[in-house]
C-alpha cells in the first residue's frame, strides 16, 4: 500500500472539496495523462501480453491511448521498489532513471498501471494551459506502476507511484508532435 505517501500530500487542515481544488489550482501544475483503453489492444503486444516499449501507436502502454491535461501534485516517493518497478539495467542509447515519484491526481482521472504521465514545457503561461496550452517540449515520461484511490475529508484523489519510462530521442520527438495534435482537456 502507498499509505506512507498519503499523509495529507497537500498539507492542508480539514477543508471542503472546493477548497482543496482551489489549492491544487494554486500549487499544482499541468501534466499530460496518457490513459490506455483496455478494450482496444495495440498490435505491438506480444504473446506474453507485453507491449513494444517504443511503439508510436500506443506509446508503450499496450492499448490505444487518450491524452488529456491533468492538474496534479507531485512529491518524491519513498514507495517500495516493487511499486516503482525499478531496476538498474541500462541499455546503450536509452535514457533511464531509477528515481520514483508519487503523483496525486483527481479522482476523475482514474489512472491505471501502464498509463503514462508526461511532464512537458507548455507554450503558454500556467493560467492559460488548461484551455489553450500545447506542449512545446517533453521533459519526462513516467509509467504508472500503482494507482490507489484515497479520501481526505470529502475530497477523493489517487496516489500514483511511477517509474521513469525508457525513452530515446526519436520516440520523444514523435510523442511531442502527436501531443500537439491529439491532446484534450479532462
Give per-residue pLDDT as tens, 125-174: 656 666 667 888 888 999 999 898 888 777 778 888 888 888 888 998 89
Looking at residue 107, its pLDDT comes to 85
Looking at residue 82, its pLDDT comes to 43
Which percentage of the chain shows pLDDT scores above 70?
Answer: 65
The larger pLDDT score, comparing residue 142 to residue 91, is at 142
Rounded CA-CA distance 23/169 in Å is 36
Q: What is the DSSP letter of 167?
A: B
- The pLDDT tens digits of the residues spanning 46-75 come to 999 899 999 999 999 999 999 998 888 887
Residue 29 pLDDT greater than 70, yes or no: yes
Angle subtended at Cα 27 by Cα 85 and Cα 167, rounded to the nearest 5 degrees? 35
Residue 3 has which C-alpha cell? Answer: 499509505
Mean pLDDT of all residues belonging to the chain: 76
| Selection from 77, 71, 117 nearest residue 101 by Cα | 77
Residue 28 pLDDT greater than 60, yes or no: yes
- The pLDDT tens digits of the residues spanning 136-146 come to 888 899 999 98
Which residues constitute the domain of residue 11? 3-185
**Chain center to CA of 87:** 19
Tell me how many domains the chain contains: 1
What is the pTM assigned to this prediction?
A: 0.74
Q: Is 113 exposed, middle or buried, given 0-12, 13-18 or 19+ CB atoms closer than 10 A?
A: middle
Give the confidence band of 27 by pLDDT, cuts at 50, 70, 90: confident
Mean pLDDT of 14-19: 56
Amino acid at each position: 500500500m502507498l499509505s506512507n505517501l498519503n499523509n495529507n500530500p497537500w498539507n492542508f487542515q480539514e477543508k471542503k472539496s472546493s477548497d482543496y481544488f482551489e489549492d491544487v489550482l494554486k500549487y499544482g501544475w499541468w501534466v499530460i495523462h496518457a490513459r490506455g483503453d483496455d478494450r482496444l489492444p495495440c498490435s505491438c503486444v506480444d504473446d506474453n501480453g507485453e507491449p513494444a516499449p517504443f511503439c508510436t501507436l500506443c506509446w508503450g502502454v499496450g492499448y490505444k491511448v487518450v491524452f488529456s491535461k491533468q492538474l496534479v501534485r507531485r512529491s518524491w516517493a519513498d514507495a517500495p521498489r516493487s511499486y516503482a518497478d525499478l531496476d538498474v539495467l541500462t541499455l546503450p542509447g536509452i535514457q533511464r532513471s531509477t528515481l520514483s515519484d508519487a503523483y496525486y491526481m483527481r479522482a476523475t482521472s482514474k489512472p491505471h498501471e501502464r498509463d503514462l504521465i508526461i511532464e512537458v514545457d507548455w507554450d503558454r503561461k500556467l493560467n492559460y494551459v488548461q484551455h489553450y496550452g500545447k506542449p512545446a517540449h517533453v521533459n519526462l515520461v513516467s509509467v504508472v506502476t500503482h494507482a490507489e484511490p484515497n479520501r481526505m475529508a470529502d475530497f477523493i484523489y489517487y496516489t500514483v507511484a511511477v517509474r521513469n519510462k525508457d525513452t530515446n530521442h526519436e520516440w520523444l520527438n514523435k510523442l511531442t508532435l502527436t501531443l500537439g495534435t491529439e491532446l484534450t482537456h479532462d
